[in-house]
Amino acid sequence: MLRSDHLEFILEAHNGISASIAEEAGFRGIWASGLALSAQFGVRDNNETSWSQVVDMVEFMADATSVPILLDGDTGYGNFNNARRLVRKLEQRGVAGVCIEDKSFPKTNSFINGQRQELADIDEFCGKIAAAKDSQLDDDFCVVARVEAYIAGRDTREALARAEAYRRAGADGILIHSSQSKPDQILEFAREWAGRAPLVIVPTKYYSTPTQVFRDAGISLVIWANHLIRSAVDSMQATARRIFEDESLVEVEDRIASITEIFRLQCTEELAEAEHRYAAGAPATTAVVLAASRGDELTDLTSDRPKTMLSVNGKPLLTRLVELCRTQGIGDISVVAGYRADSIDVKDIGLIVNDDHATNGELASLACARHAFSDEMVILYGDLLFRSYILRELLESESELTVVVDSQEAHPGTIRDDAYCSSPDDRSLWGHNVLLQHIGSDERSDAAGPQGRWIGMFRARAGGRAWIEEALDALSVSPRFDHLTLSDLLNHIVEAGHPVRVLYIHGHWLDVNSLGDLEQAGRFTAGQP
Ligand code: SPV
Ligand code: MG
């Protein structure tokens, strides 16, 4: 990037997650800023942290990213000997380069009383650069020499003399710093420097300068030096104030990153896949997703794909569902497809095709997946969207069979998934010891309910799996089998006397049956990856 034939940019980051955010935004490199690193530790930019604490954090940044990191190595944390040990340690930890400034240890941030800052002796600093360069083992490691002459109130002559000495000592690039609000010093320096070595700048103070000016001046690399820590601070202050004042999370929940987004940035899915590959023994939870239906109400939209492949905010419903399952550690996911099964191109799922989907129904689809049943499984519809905590809580259930019921939704007689339960949701108990009595729209005269709506998701452990298989066996001989639904299956299990536990939730999910649902799904997933 230093030698690139066009202007390059790197962005400040200060820990693993901010580094991966910078890379994901498109930056081809990262500035591990001394200011930002010290700030995230909650100390001053005066070498109050030890250099090994800095290197430890930069290692997390390197682990979280694949783009080069240039560490702001302050003065090299001592003399030539400290600088060369630093270079060895940075190479070992996958850091691409270090920038060393010509001040003395402990340094002070350039924007604090710059004029009072003492510059390093030129020869001493050249020795430090030479030692750093001589100690690198990887030819690609870069040492950038930072000239603080302007910061200390010196003139262009001195800046140029220093830069030239550092170039001769082996520096791969010169960072010329200025604390003025106009780029005049930088531009004058660049003119006189005339491309002798790559130039690096930090336009924190002259931020309003059009970027084209830097291009025209022949600058190689721009460092946006502190903008992630500043945006994080701003956002955290607002969130902290809001929660404190409200004594509630309601106002902030939808304004901040979702937990799922945090999981995604942490690459949780990769661990779930690795567990699937390496951690044999522990019974892994599997999922069976029923996705055979076209979604007739969505007419034109589903002419070439089932509704589960409809895109919501740029991603098919099924992909979202699969990713949600993965964040909860479910690696093995079987999808029963039917209508336009050929259009399902979601990665790493087991695709099962119900060839008779046009004439049969849900239970027949489930029967097609029987070979994929396990002693820890979740069964759910492919048109569901829900917050991940719902699946997490379902997986935490110790019952043999648990269904998820939304207690905010109960519309007696109007929808087929009304859930009649042994007691209503009293919120504090989250459905502990509440049992399912019946699912259906056939309003029951003998019951007080319905107490909610079954959302189309349930979880079975070994015993529950046995009840499901018994019920499938019993129902498959019925002449109506092809018309039966998952609700019929659950009702059969209840009627056989098995306890089916209810997990009450309060919203935070939806299923997609109509155009209106699809619009709502767009809002539901806004801001999600
Ligand atoms: C840093 O980001 O820590 C820098 C740049 O060194 S500056 O804060 O401008 O000195
Ligand atoms: Mg710094």
User: What tens digit of pLDDT does each residue of 39-74 get?
Assistant: 999 999 999 999 999 999 999 999 999 999 999 999
Helix axes 122-135, 156-169, angle to 10 degrees: 30
State the amino acid at position 280 in one-letter form. Answer: A
Report which ligand 1 atom has the smallest distance to the Cα of 101: 6
Same domain (yes/no): 407, 458? yes
Taking the centre of ligand 1 as the mean of its atom positions, its distance from the CA of residue 94, in whole angstroms, is 22
What span, in angstroms and rounded, lies between the C-alpha atoms of 476 and 134? 77
Cα separation, 208 vs 216, in Å, equals 16
Task: Give a yes or no: residue 193 inside a domain.
Answer: yes
Confidence band (pLDDT; 50, 70, 90) for 160?
very high
- pLDDT at site 140: 97
Residue 3 lies in a domain: no
Residue with token string 């719902």:
390
Residues 433-458: what's their mean pLDDT? 83
Note whether residue 261 is domain-resident: yes
Residues 375, 347: one domain? yes
Cβ atoms 300, 363 nearer than 8 A: no
Other beta carbons within 10 Å of 387: 18
The token pair at 347 is 């990665």
Looking at 259, 281, 303, the residue that finishes a domain is 281
Residue 443 has a pLDDT of 64
pLDDT of residue 485: 92
Active-site residue (options: 5, 45, 246, 517): 45
**Residue count (the chain):** 529
**What is the rounded CA–CA span in Å between residue 165 and residue 168?**
5
- The band of 343, judged by pLDDT with boundaries at 50, 70 and 90, is confident
pLDDT of res. 277? 75
Domain end among 194, 210, 233: 233
Task: Note the pLDDT tens digit of each residue in 183-212.
Answer: 999 999 999 999 999 999 999 999 999 999
The region of weakest confidence among 156-160, 428-432, 456-460 is: 428-432
So what's the pLDDT on residue 270? 87
List the domain range (segments joined by +) for residue 268.
248-281
Across the chain, which distance is largest between two alpha carbons, in Å? Answer: 96
67 inside domain = yes
- Residue 280 above 70 pLDDT? no
User: Which of 177, 180, 229 to mutate for ligand 1's pocket (most ligand atoms within 8 Å of CB)?
Assistant: 177
Lowest mean pLDDT among 222-236, 294-308, 475-489: 294-308
Task: Read off the pLDDT band of 366 (50, 70, 90).
Answer: very high
Between the two ends of the chain, the Cα-to-Cα distance in Å is 29
Please say whether the dihedral angle defined by the alpha carbons of residues 253, 327, 350 and 344, taken in this order, is positive or negative: positive
Reported confidence tier of residue 282, pLDDT bands at 50, 70, 90: low
Asked whether the beta carbons of 132 and 143 are under 8 A apart, the reply is: yes
Residue 238 lies in a domain: no
Q: Which of 180, 204, 228 to probe ligand 1 with, by most ligand atoms within 8 A of CB?
A: 204
Banded pLDDT at 433 (limits 50, 70, 90): confident
Q: 316 forms bridges with which residues in the sheet?
A: 311
We report the CATH number of the domain holding residue 463 as 3.90.550.10
> Is residue 243 domain-resident?
no
C-alpha span between 247 and 289 (Å, rounded): 39
258 and 323 share one domain: no
Residue 382 and residue 494 in one domain: yes
What was the pLDDT predicted at 311?
Answer: 87
Residues 258 and 385 in one domain: no
Residue 409, pLDDT score: 77
The whole-number average pLDDT for the span 325-332 is: 89
pLDDT grade for 435, boundaries at 50, 70 and 90: very high
Pull the structure tokens for residue 166. Answer: 């550092």
List, in order, residues 6 or more apart from 256 with CB less than 8 Å away: 235, 239
| Residue 53 vs residue 295, higher pLDDT | 53
Pair (369, 475) in one structural domain = yes
Model confidence band, residue 113 (pLDDT cutoffs 50, 70, 90): confident
* pLDDT computed for residue 447 by the predictor: 64
Tell whether 333 and 347 lie within a shared domain: yes
309 and 272 co-located in one domain: no
Residue 370 has pLDDT above 60, yes or no: yes
- Tell me how many domains the chain contains: 3
Please indicate whether residue 72 is annotated as part of the active site.
no
- pLDDT of 430 over the 60 cut: no
- How large is the average pLDDT for residues 364-383? 94
Q: What is the DSSP string of 379-402?
A: EEETTEEE-HHHHHHHHH--SSEE
To test the ligand 1 pocket, which listed residue (12, 31, 35, 111) has its Cβ within 8 A of the most ligand atoms? 35
| 269, 288: one domain | no
Contacts of 436 (CB under 8 A, 6+ apart): 403, 405, 419, 420, 421, 422, 490, 494, 500, 501, 502
C-alpha 72 – ligand 2 centre gap (Å): 6
Last residue of a domain, one of 199, 233, 267: 233
How high does pLDDT run on average in the chain?
92
DSSP string, 299-365: GGGGSSS-GGG-EETTEEHHHHHHHHHHHTT--EEEEEEBTBGGG---TT-EEEE-TTTTT--HHHH
Q: Say yes or no: 277 and 406 in one domain.
A: no
Model confidence at 444, in pLDDT bands (50, 70, 90)?
low
SS3 483: helix
Q: Is the pLDDT at 427 greater than 80, yes or no?
A: no
Residues with CB under 6 A from ligand 1: 33-35, 72, 109-110, 202, 204, 225-226
Tell me if 240 is assigned to some domain: no
Q: Is 384 exposed, middle or buried (0-12, 13-18, 19+ CB in 10 A)?
A: buried
Q: How far apart are CA 508 and CA 506, in angstroms?
A: 7
The reply to whether 307 falls in a domain is: yes
69, 32 contact by CB (below 8 A) = yes
How confident is residue 413, by pLDDT bands cut at 50, 70 and 90? Answer: low
CATH of the domain at 80: 3.20.20.60
Task: Provide the pairing of β-strand 384-386 with 509-511.
Answer: antiparallel
Q: What atom in ligand 1 is closest to the CA of residue 99?
A: 6
Averaged pLDDT, 131-136: 98
Judgement on whether residues 363 and 300 belong to the same structural domain of the protein: yes
Do 192 and 274 share a domain, yes or no?
no
Structure tokens at 502: 């209810």
Whole-angstrom distance, CA of residue 407 vs CA of residue 267: 33
Q: Which ligand is nearest to the CA of 226?
A: 1
Q: What is the per-residue DSSP string for 491-521?
A: HHHHHTT---EEEEE-S-EEE--SHHHHHHH
Percentage of residues of the chain with pLDDT beyond 70: 95
Please report the pLDDT score of residue 410 as a whole number: 66
- Looking at the chain, the whole-number percentage of residues with pLDDT higher than 90 is 73
Distance of CA 34 from the midpoint of ligand 1 (Å): 6
Chain Cα centroid distance, residue 501: 33
Q: How large is the average pLDDT for residues 329-341? A: 90
Per-residue pLDDT, 411: 63
